[in-house]
Structure 1
């Protein structure tokens, strides 16, 4: 009888121990718990505003030197003057055109080459070592060569932006192609599809969500090379504005240019995220 009574108690004991743990794990901090509708943007805006307020508070207390770390209000004031006096909007437009021109050129070349590298092993074996080698080369070290090859015109700026994007993107495209399940390809051949149809209608469509996401990521990388590209005999662009302000230790203007690049990049990234969600609702 004693054994009969003790068994249910022993069986119930682990449940009693686990119940508080389950309760404790509930809530927003639970692993991969989805946020309620509308909470994500609200949390993002709230956290960003909090960071800016703390930054402003620290600057107003005099804990930082304005010459080296100006306050957000000083940066916004400098940005307002630059919009009115230094044609900052035009410089931002020029930089945006350069980045998108180099990025689209890199994408147009990287997508077919990356698909071919993954789809045909002989092409991958031939190209991957060279691409791996070049993508580890520091872009700033290649600025003198770019000037020798293209001069100091617009071609050099586009080339440097393209160089920092293409060799990264082509390997990401090849990885996206490799992730397409082999079963998809075999089923397509079974139902009578030819090689071109398998590539276009099966493999490319299967890799498209990952490809769009990688394009969004590499566009951000392209923006990171803007300063390098626009210090080469430039007289326009955000990189030129930042570099000119640096010469005279105008830190608020330097940070205003940097902040504007971040704002443009953030807006573009969020737009591409929205397009990705709308285009691939099934994910």
Structure 2
């Protein structure tokens, strides 16, 4: 969760700036796009070389998988905020940072929450890959060890546990979103 929170804390402000300022978007989007398309199974060997086997590698892989998957949708959501909203803010001489925090962010909040939920799902996939290849603990590690000894019930239990944990974390993000931002989606 720490790696996901770190990725979100970085991707949201960077995505806001990429979507709000053409120069920032033009400079960062090609790099973000390139890294976003790197195949997940190819990343653990590099991570192990850089960080060794353990928590640092898992955190890096999860951050890598979540940050680059989230930054571009945030930038796209900012671009979808109606121009009239920003024009209204400019008529009251709101500075650029207030337009981002008081106009763009609330207007894109429903889609931001959805993008966070989708990215969290990808983050779970990266976690399992990281634990299979670059860890000596965790559900992915347990599943991989059980697979080596043909313990199908343990593999299935691990897979089902991941599904339930993923569902629970998805609902943690989803539940607060509904009542607070319902008025924006009407």
TM-score normalized by structure 2? 0.94
Alignment partners' CA distance in 1, 2:106 and 2:49: 41
The answer as to whether partners of 1:157 and 1:232 remain within 8 angstroms in 2 is no
Alignment partners' CA distance in 2, 1:233 and 1:167: 21
Alignment partners' CA distance in 2, 1:146 and 1:258: 24
Pair 1:177 & 2:177 matched: no
Pair 1:274 & 2:175 matched: yes
Structure 2 match to 1:112:
13
Match of 1:257 among 147, 154, 158: 158
Match of 1:131 among 32, 51, 56: 32
Q: SS of the counterpart of 2:89?
A: helix
Distance 1:113 1:144, change over 3 A: same
Alignment partners' CA distance in 2, 1:139 and 1:132: 14
Aligned residues: 184
Structure 1 match to 2:97:
196
Give, in angstroms, the shift of residue 158 of structure 1: 0.9
Alignment partners' CA distance in 2, 1:281 and 1:105: 26
- Runs of 4+ off more than 3 Å: none
Superposed CA RMSD: 1.2
Structure 2 unaligned regions, length at least 5: none
Alignment partners' CA distance in 2, 1:143 and 1:210: 30
The answer as to whether partners of 2:58 and 2:134 remain within 8 angstroms in 1 is no
Pair 1:244 & 2:160 matched: no
TM-score normalized by structure 1? 0.63
Alignment partners' CA distance in 1, 2:27 and 2:95: 25
Structure 1 match to 2:44:
143
Superposition map of 1:22-101 within 5 A: 100-101=1-2
Cα deviations by residue, 1:13-64 (Å, 9 ceiling, x for unpaired): xxxxxxxxxxxxxxxxxxxxxxxxxxxxxxxxxxxxxxxxxxxxxxxxxxxx
Q: SS of the counterpart of 1:180?
A: coil
Alignment partners' CA distance in 2, 1:164 and 1:279: 28
The answer as to whether partners of 2:146 and 2:155 remain within 8 angstroms in 1 is yes
The answer as to whether partners of 1:150 and 1:156 remain within 8 angstroms in 2 is yes
Distance 1:233 1:190, change over 3 A: closer
Structure 2 match to 1:230:
131
The answer as to whether partners of 1:106 and 1:162 remain within 8 angstroms in 2 is yes
The answer as to whether partners of 2:11 and 2:67 remain within 8 angstroms in 1 is yes
Give, in angstroms, the shift of residue 233 of structure 1: 4.5
Give, in angstroms, the shift of residue 274 of structure 1: 2.0
Alignment partners' CA distance in 1, 2:85 and 2:21: 16
